[in-house]
Structure 1
């Protein structure tokens, strides 16, 4: 058998299955590929010690495959969601020691870097801040209902997880009104804790308003219900206080609670349709009873959700 050449791999691969919904490999990342697929590609195109470059590395399947096959690697992605996912899967696959074998570029190293990121790309700054606090951020722009992220945690002896909502604010006009809004969000979402992240030090009035909500948690672990932290605090070892242990978030939630569309009246989205002409014979005249059916050219335009369409 060792002298036989075997059957060459064909250009259509059917022996690698897709990642199923219950697969332990599944990260819920929208563009995730099977690990075996990337292993085969890397084995066929490189040798041990070579460098594998993935310029749009997403959830890091190629990175994990390259690491496991003894290749060096470089991964590039535009979002902190990808960085978070890749670091998590590398630790899961190879242990904490893997963090000492690579360098991470582009992530803020100090408060000044974080402020620069906020000025350059506010949405990515929000994601970074929520990740640094151990939570899962809102991953796209748009109305957020006052929530930029969710931190889930467990109290000892309680099966049902609790959660804290995170609101990230910037600019020079952050004040008491933002604390009031956070109070409303915490109440509306039935969250146990609210966290307000600011670029600058909050004023005394903001602190007093937050403190007025009092404490929550068991007698052995009381923490403030509303907590205000700054960019400088994020770089401290324990920037927030929780009455339990943080549940590390998965890569991407299937539909985060703060991103689920609310039930209500169906809205017709504005969308332009295109009708493509089809060459051929002119269709014969059709009739319905004694009445001819006249064929007309129509133009489909952008629909308005304010009017009913027929």
Structure 2
């Protein structure tokens, strides 16, 4: 970070545009934002774009996104459907990131679990929310029962979330969710449904399931101290 800040200071003036065509974890973007440069960051993966967004928010606060334009990720149901048809794995990664969860590194042999959201239980214990994403038109009750069983049988998981591209579930699948039980947080006694369902349309409208506050899914960047100019991210 310090090296990139030095390079940007030596080679650009405030207000100049910094381009990083392979922005990865966003170190150049972070440095440019801190130094008052406009910037354009480009990366091929949704994980990188999500990581950079969370890094900017962690460093400069949530309001930084008022200055940032993000292109190349779904912005409505039609673009979400196109992403699923083009690359189901990228669709899963994108949907998982909407929950502030971390996508799995592998998409094969994952037992239906596509990501994990972590939260604090106590000073020594981190809990897990297992996230499963389904883009098909229907989700059979057997899959939902398997997901409940995976949550119950996991030694270090307490809760689960099912994300679907379709707005509604079959009656059988919904009944499995409704009867999955509750988990009580030992720190505050709050009850959370063991399994919850949320549709992509709801996520894009800003709705979220009832879950304990998430830990940052990626390593947080050092908090910045300067207010900065607008940037643009391309996925």
TM-score (norm 2): 0.82
Of 203, 214, 219, the match for 1:246 = 214
Counterpart of 2:176 in structure 1 is 209
CA distance in 1, matches of 2:19, 2:78: 30
Structure 1, unaligned stretches of length 5 or more? 1-34, 253-310
Structure 1 runs of 4+ aligned residues shifted over 4 Å read none
Q: Please give the residue correspondences for 1:125-144 in structure 2 after superposition, counting only pairs within 5 Å.
A: 125-144=91-110
Asked which structure has the greater RCO (Cα within 8 Å, sep 6+), the reply is 2
Contact preservation (8 Å) 2:161, 2:196: yes
Of 146, 149, 166, the match for 2:131 = 166
Counterpart of 1:95 in structure 2 is 61
Structure 2, unaligned stretches of length 5 or more? 221-235
Contact preservation (8 Å) 1:127, 1:139: no
Counterpart of 1:30 in structure 2 is none
Deviations along 1:142-175, one digit per CA (max 9) or x if unpaired, are 32132101111235xx332321101111223521
Question: SS in structure 2 opposite 1:104?
Answer: strand
CA distance in 1, matches of 2:201, 2:25: 29
Greater helix percent: which structure? 2
Greater strand percent: which structure? 2
Counterpart of 1:145 in structure 2 is 111
Query: How much does 1:251 deviate?
Result: 4.2
Deviations along 1:74-122, one digit per CA (max 9) or x if unpaired, are 0011112112221222233333332222211122222332222111221
Larger Rg: 1
Q: Please give the residue correspondences for 1:97-136 in structure 2 after superposition, counting only pairs within 5 Å.
A: 97-136=63-102
Query: How much does 1:236 deviate?
Result: 4.0
Question: SS in structure 2 opposite 1:228?
Answer: strand
1:189 aligns with 2:154: yes
Contact preservation (8 Å) 1:138, 1:149: yes
Query: How much does 1:204 deviate?
Result: 0.5
Contact preservation (8 Å) 2:139, 2:173: no
CA distance in 2, matches of 1:79, 1:222: 36
Query: How much does 1:216 deviate?
Result: 2.0
Question: SS in structure 2 opposite 1:58?
Answer: coil
Q: Is the alpha carbon distance of 1:97 and 1:208 closer, same or farther for their aligned partners in structure 2, counting shifts above 3 Å?
A: closer
1:68 aligns with 2:68: no
Contact preservation (8 Å) 1:55, 1:75: yes
Of 163, 180, 201, the match for 2:145 = 180
Q: Is the alpha carbon distance of 1:212 and 1:86 closer, same or farther for their aligned partners in structure 2, counting shifts above 3 Å?
A: same
Q: Is the alpha carbon distance of 1:96 and 1:223 closer, same or farther for their aligned partners in structure 2, counting shifts above 3 Å?
A: closer
What's the Cα RMSD here? Answer: 2.1
TM-score (norm 1): 0.64
Query: How much does 1:49 deviate?
Result: 1.9
